[in-house]
């Protein structure tokens, strides 16, 4: 898989190979996170696009029917279930005559109507609203969905900040073809899809998100919903997008091929997350579980991975974006996490994209890639900034460029420390 980006946010140009484990290193504010967010957004904004459009139309039609019925002279409450049923029948109708018959049957089924109501007028108004919603072209709808998704993830800063008049373009190429999107003025103006993405992407940069499994009421009451990116991961942690039957099959398959992976996870997180009125972490030795919000931040990093595996959310060919995963981990746990990444890639054929500032973590990843025979699917990039825009140099054959940049600050500190000691040496 190959990701190409032009004039997107601070990224002037990028051509990134994603074929196993891709590592991006570089100084702060050089576009590293942008690469991962673009990849994640390309996966999830258009994943199951047809179902998203149908669901959006369904919700809008439900609200429209509900509002119109509330403003009429019907003297009975019309249940949401009844409105949902009529909307689904309207969406399934093959022609306008069928739609009208559905609406007529719907109105005839409602008892206790006031005699003064203009039934035909109501049918016409309902029919016109439904026709307006159903007539929205899929192309227009797709552009709006993509625009809204990317604007939320990038806070409205899609087009190149230094060259706002240019067209931003992103493209993902796989064996099945190319998918591309163009933006102008932070709005999707064109797209071209040659294949329907079926894999998912998970953007992991905040282990504390797992706390929200026990904070759903707080989120709902306060109105502080996660972003679409977080919402997708949250749903995956909950496992609500997967049927019980699919989960059972995934659990059987995953258990057979993940003994080694679970061995690594059990070194750090030997228990599992269970639900008993709230989500708890419980080990075999422990008599009672602890609220997941009380787990250490480092433990949560591993818990998220284990949860995605156990509930069947993580599948072959999926992408995982890890933004500075070493931040919350002790060097010893960094080693376990690095080996876990390589082992997962081998078992699931996943695509990892990893941003890091740690030479220790990078060296550990490099070692385990060699140990597991995965060195050939590792690709290294160094991000650079110049005159307000960022670019990426592939350094797979010269990874010492990355190590030099990561190690140089330590050498600089040692030199400054030596000079200070010489200046303050007692006479």
DSSP string, 294-326: GS-HHHHHHHHHHHHHHTT---TT-EEEEESGG
Beta carbons within 10 angstroms of residue 167's beta carbon? 16
Q: Which residue reads 């307000």 in tokens?
A: 388
Longest Cα separation, the chain: 108
Beta bridge partners of 15: 4
Q: Check residue 168 and give its pLDDT.
A: 94
Indicate if the pLDDT at residue 160 is higher than 60: yes
Indicate if the pLDDT at residue 62 is higher than 80: yes
Indicate if the pLDDT at residue 243 is higher than 80: no
Indicate if the pLDDT at residue 173 is higher than 70: yes
Which whole number is the average pLDDT over 65-73?
68
Q: Which range, 48-62, 304-318, 360-374, is most confident?
A: 360-374
Q: How far, in Å, CA of 400 to CA of 383, rounded? A: 14
Q: How far, in Å, CA of 304 to CA of 315, rounded? A: 15
3-state helix, strand, coil in the chain (%, to 5): 50, 20, 30
Q: How far, in Å, CA of 80 to CA of 96, rounded? A: 24
First to last CA, the chain: 64
Q: What is the DSSP string of 400-413?
A: HHHHHHHHHHHHHH
> 83: pLDDT confidence band, cut at 50, 70 and 90?
confident
- pLDDT tens column, 28-39: 888 899 999 999
Burial code (b: 16+ CB inside 10 Å, e: under 16) for 251-271 equals eeebeeebeebbebbeebbeb
**Which of 342, 264, 247, 328 has the alpha carbon at shortest distance from 23?**
342
Tell whether pTM > 0.85: no
> 223: pLDDT confidence band, cut at 50, 70 and 90?
very low
Q: Check residue 255 and give its pLDDT.
A: 65
> Which of 141-155, 218-232, 262-276, 355-369 shows the lowest mean pLDDT across its residues?
218-232
For residues 251 and 313, the model is more confident at 313
Helix (H) or strand (E) holding 256: helix 244-257
Q: How far, in Å, CA of 101 to CA of 411, rounded? A: 79
Indicate if the pLDDT at residue 72 is higher than 60: no
Q: Are 380 and 19 in contact (CB under 8 A)?
A: no
What are the phi and psi torsion angles at 400 (to 5°)? -60, -20
Indicate if the pLDDT at residue 267 is higher than 70: yes
Which whole number is the average pLDDT over 270-284?
80
Question: Is the sign of the CA dihedral 62, 64, 65, 68 positive or negative?
Answer: positive
Q: Are 42 and 23 in contact (CB under 8 A)?
A: no
Q: Which residue reads 């994603």 in tokens?
A: 18
> Which of 67-81, 214-228, 244-258, 262-276 shows the lowest mean pLDDT across its residues?
214-228
Q: Check residue 117 and give its pLDDT.
A: 55
Both tokens of 143, joined, read 């552009």
Task: Provide the mean pLDDT of the chain.
Answer: 83
> Which of 55-64, 126-135, 213-222, 295-304 shows the lowest mean pLDDT across its residues?
213-222
Q: Which range, 54-63, 76-85, 301-310, 354-363, is most confident?
A: 354-363
Q: Check residue 316 and give its pLDDT.
A: 81
Q: Check residue 250 and give its pLDDT.
A: 67
Indicate if the pLDDT at residue 337 is higher than 90: yes
Q: Which range, 41-45, 173-177, 258-262, 319-323, is most confident?
A: 319-323
Q: For the chain, what is the total number of helices (H) and then of strands (E)? A: 14, 14
Indicate if the pLDDT at residue 424 is higher than 90: no
Q: Check residue 380 and give its pLDDT.
A: 95
Q: Check residue 220 and give its pLDDT.
A: 40
């Amino acid at each position: 898989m190959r990701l190409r980006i032009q004039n997107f946010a601070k990224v002037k140009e990028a051509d990134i190979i994603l074929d196993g484990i891709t590592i991006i290193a570089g100084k702060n504010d050089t576009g590293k996170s942008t690469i991962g967010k673009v990849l994640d957004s390309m996966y999830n904004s258009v994943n199951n696009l047809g179902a998203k459009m149908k669901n959006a139309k369904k919700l809008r039609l439900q609200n429209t029917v509900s509002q119109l019925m509330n403003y009429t002279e019907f003297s009975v409450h019309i249940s949401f279930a009844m409105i949902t049923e009529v909307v689904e029948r309207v969406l399934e109708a093959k022609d306008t005559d069928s739609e009208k018959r559905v609406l007529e049957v719907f109105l005839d089924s409602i008892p206790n109507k006031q005699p003064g109501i203009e039934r035909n007028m109501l049918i016409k108004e309902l029919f016109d609203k439904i026709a307006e919603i159903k007539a929205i072209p899929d192309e227009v709808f797709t552009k709006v969905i993509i625009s809204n998704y990317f604007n939320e993830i990038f806070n409205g800063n899609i087009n190149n900040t230094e060259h706002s008049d240019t067209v931003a373009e992103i493209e993902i190429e796989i064996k099945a073809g190319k998918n591309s999107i163009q933006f102008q003025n932070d709005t999707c103006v064109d797209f071209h899809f040659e294949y329907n993405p079926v894999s998912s992407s998970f953007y992991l940069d905040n282990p504390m998100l797992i706390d929200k499994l026990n904070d759903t009421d707080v989120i709902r009451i306060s109105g502080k919903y996660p972003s679409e990116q977080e919402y997708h991961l949250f749903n995956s942690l909950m496992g609500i997008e997967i049927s019980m039957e699919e989960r059972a099959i995934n659990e059987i398959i995953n258990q057979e091929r993940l003994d080694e992976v679970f061995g690594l996870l059990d070194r750090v997180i030997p228990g599992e997350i269970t639900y008993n009125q709230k989500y708890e972490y419980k080990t075999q030795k422990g008599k009672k579980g602890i609220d997941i919000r009380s787990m250490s931040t480092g433990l949560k990093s591993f818990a998220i991975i284990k949860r995605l595996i156990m509930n069947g959310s993580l599948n072959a060919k999926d992408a995982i974006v890890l933004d500075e995963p070493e931040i919350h981990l002790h060097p010893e746990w960094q080693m376990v996490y690095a080996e876990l990444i390589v082992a997962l890639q081998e078992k699931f054929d996943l695509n990892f994209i990893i941003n890091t500032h740690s030479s220790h973590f990078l060296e550990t990843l490099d070692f385990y890639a060699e140990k597991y025979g995965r060195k050939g699917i590792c690709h290294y990039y160094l991000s650079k900034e110049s005159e307000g825009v960022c670019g990426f140099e592939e350094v797979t054959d010269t990874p010492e460029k990355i190590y030099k940049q990561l190690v140089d600050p330590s050498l600089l500190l040692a030199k400054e420390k030596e000079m200070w000691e010489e200046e303050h040496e007692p006479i």
